[in-house]
Structure 1
């Protein structure tokens, strides 16, 4: 692996934006670390450290960095789609784009889903599923919500990129304005279910900022305006509006900034995007160092696998501690904080072992449609259908988990009950459709 990383790093073209790669890895790493730190596990269940110590909630304004990942996604998707347009007939681009962008996402995700689905089925057939095992089966799929949102961003890239090319900042303003309208209808008019539209409007607005960056339209002054304006707006919304302080979901709260996203989270995303853009120049100088760049390249090659399996590793560590009769201190106590470095080190080591076992699935297979070759008739709609099924499947699975697999347990996906078997079937079927649509026909 070391030699291949060294070769990849050495072959990096001078035109590559290395800072984007760093942001991708750093944002996923921050999410993983945040999950490990926030978990307040006791023999009785799993709580949230931020609920135990509310004074720590302002830290989420630094550690809730998913907007940065989606911003980076917009940048990468714009470059990828435009590159394909230069190489292929336009009628074959959409299916090829979906397959190319989703392959490194869906292949490791499908392995994760199938491995955990088989394990959950075996555990419950043997009569298990209680205690920490049951909690793990319910919670281990929760990070899949991020995969679902990212799928939507990839699927909507072509039409939103066309809007961006026509209206520029106006396209972003339209999505942000729609998010404002949704929150007004939600909180001022009490319109039911309208809040779920902000899963699209808020995250796609952040994604649209990535298009603007790809065109060089976020210079230092605009970055400063985004950072300052976003921070002031988020603070005002939290201070005077119906929005909670935490930028991550909290147990039992009536309003969450995350699920569904709120205007406060959009403002938070703006300030983060502006802040990371202000740091671009010094970070770029740092990334010119060969050792630093090799580290980023190596991390990028396994980032998605590590993200998928990091909760598995965390619950594995807690399960091992309980099996060895190691006392789990009261969350936020002095003994709990003393134990944090050990738990983090063990979780990191177990995650590394899981990455070693499953990282091969993150390596994309070669695309089989040659540049300039027409795609299959109807490949675009087939790919769109596949992406939609995957989106619904992974979002449903993130909500229902694998607990109660044999009991027909369901969760509401917006207003539709979905079970784990149905979610797995949709995800698998959608992935196969995307793969088929992106391949060359005889």
Structure 2
């Protein structure tokens, strides 16, 4: 197993942009906002109307690709930080900051908007729906922050395993299967949430294997992983009784995503295999200067786009409903034919929001303390506590949204009741602790 080198893999940048872009496009295509006769706005899902589309989520639910890419990026970043004399606090502050800055801007703006809507007595219809569900995609950022916090320890485990390192994600996958057996076979309450760690850490650990060359791109490995993943996904969603869709569908008793299941893990293996198969031709394509410039530009805007794309959806939905412009029945031929126009409409407010908030998405140079700097030993517990609070805050926001602050609205995160204001304050407190770990010496 070779040492991980701090070299840029253009393919990884493409995969990061691709995975977030597919999530945005998927939400725009699947979501159906409608107001019923009772005046209540509801968000539906075309996958519930057209179940035949659900197998498409095996390729379009690409969050496993993002966590796989994250494993590669964290391995390279940790090696770079350690070579410069940095430690845990420097790593998590740098990696989390890229997520927290745009997320903090999003949360602050939406909390103020939700308060204004409630004070104005306009907390109804599409506005009410928006304030409650616009933050749901933040679950991914919350889980990813938790993975960032654990990345140095998991990378240490990876390196100590040596030649047995490929068995680490296998063991995590086996633990995920055991959790599902306890959850579905023996009705053990709440144990399913352990798979938030086991499934995503298994995929993330595979990224370490890609970073050090143990997981080699190309046909042999790619075909094996894709074949095994496809066979497992088909078996689990047919004879295994798991839902076909890899995203939550209204009316389904079980979701493969919340919490993640063994079926999602099998689908992740399929996607990793396809990623390895596609690396050669796509890497050659990325050598074109125009293509690479496009990927670099998109990378600088991808997180802001992800955060604000549902806001764009609700802006257009509110406008069309106010104008009395209805949409064709979801899944009909007219509905499909109208999708290009619908996507074009959604791009307008989303692009405006990205331009407005893009500065928060800019990376900043990592910093490490000078040799012998005072207070170094205190930074690790501060950073760990900061990451814990940020993770809890973001997950709380994703669960409860921003609406109903003055009414005392709550939601349950696993077993803990959370409110919009408390969740945002947890996020702010965690970011403050991370800020306290900043050294004075910038990296070259």
Cα shift readout 1:143-185 (whole Å, capped 9, x = no counterpart) = 1000011101100001100111122112112211111111111
CA distance in 1, matches of 2:241, 2:224: 25
Which one is further off, 208-217 or 251-260? 251-260
Which one is further off, 369-378 or 97-106? 369-378
Q: What is the aligned partner in structure 2 of residue 4 from structure 1?
A: none
Runs of 4+ aligned structure 1 residues displaced above 6 Å come to none
Contact persistence 1:78–1:161 (CA under 8 A): yes
Which one is further off, 106-115 or 338-347? 338-347
Q: Secondary structure at the match of 2:44?
A: strand
Q: What is the aligned partner in structure 2 of residue 62 from structure 1?
A: 59
Q: Secondary structure at the match of 1:412?
A: strand
Does 1:122 find its partner at 2:129? no
Q: What is the aligned partner in structure 2 of residue 36 from structure 1?
A: 28
Contact persistence 2:6–2:79 (CA under 8 A): no
Q: Secondary structure at the match of 1:378?
A: helix
Q: What is the aligned partner in structure 2 of residue 5 from structure 1?
A: none
Question: Among 63, 69, 72, which residue is 1:72 paired with?
Answer: 69
Q: What is the aligned partner in structure 1 of residue 299 from structure 2?
A: 300
Which one is further off, 396-405 or 384-393? 396-405
Q: What is the aligned partner in structure 2 of residue 391 from structure 1?
A: 391
Q: What is the aligned partner in structure 2 of residue 157 from structure 1?
A: 151
CA distance in 2, matches of 1:368, 1:67: 29
Question: Among 44, 47, 51, which residue is 1:50 paired with?
Answer: 47
Does 1:211 find its partner at 2:203? no
CA distance in 2, matches of 1:438, 1:175: 33
Call closer, same or farther: CA 1:212–1:367 in 2, change over 3 Å: closer
Call closer, same or farther: CA 1:367–1:279 in 2, change over 3 Å: closer
Which one is further off, 314-323 or 139-148? 314-323
Cα shift readout 1:371-414 (whole Å, capped 9, x = no counterpart) = 64646331111111111111111111111111222211111111
Call closer, same or farther: CA 1:330–1:151 in 2, change over 3 Å: same
Q: Secondary structure at the match of 1:359?
A: helix
Deviation at 1:335, TM superposition (A): 3.3
Call closer, same or farther: CA 1:169–1:437 in 2, change over 3 Å: same
Q: What is the aligned partner in structure 1 of residue 221 from structure 2?
A: 222
Which one is further off, 318-327 or 44-53? 318-327
What TM-score do the two structures reach when normalised by structure 2?
Answer: 0.93
Deviation at 1:331, TM superposition (A): 1.9
CA distance in 2, matches of 1:125, 1:36: 30
CA distance in 1, matches of 2:333, 2:432: 50
How do 1:140-289 and structure 2 match up within 5 A? 140-167=134-161, 168-219=165-216, 220=218, 221-289=220-288
CA distance in 2, matches of 1:373, 1:81: 20
Call closer, same or farther: CA 1:130–1:169 in 2, change over 3 Å: same
Cα shift readout 1:18-59 (whole Å, capped 9, x = no counterpart) = 000000000000000000000112233220000011111111
Query: How many residue pairs were aligned?
Result: 426
Cα shift readout 1:306-354 (whole Å, capped 9, x = no counterpart) = 0000000111111111222222332223333332211100111221111
Please list every run of 5 or more consecutive structure 1 residues that lacks an aligned counterpart in the other structure: 1-12
Does 1:17 find its partner at 2:12? no
Q: CA RMSD in A?
A: 1.6
Which one is further off, 325-334 or 46-55? 325-334
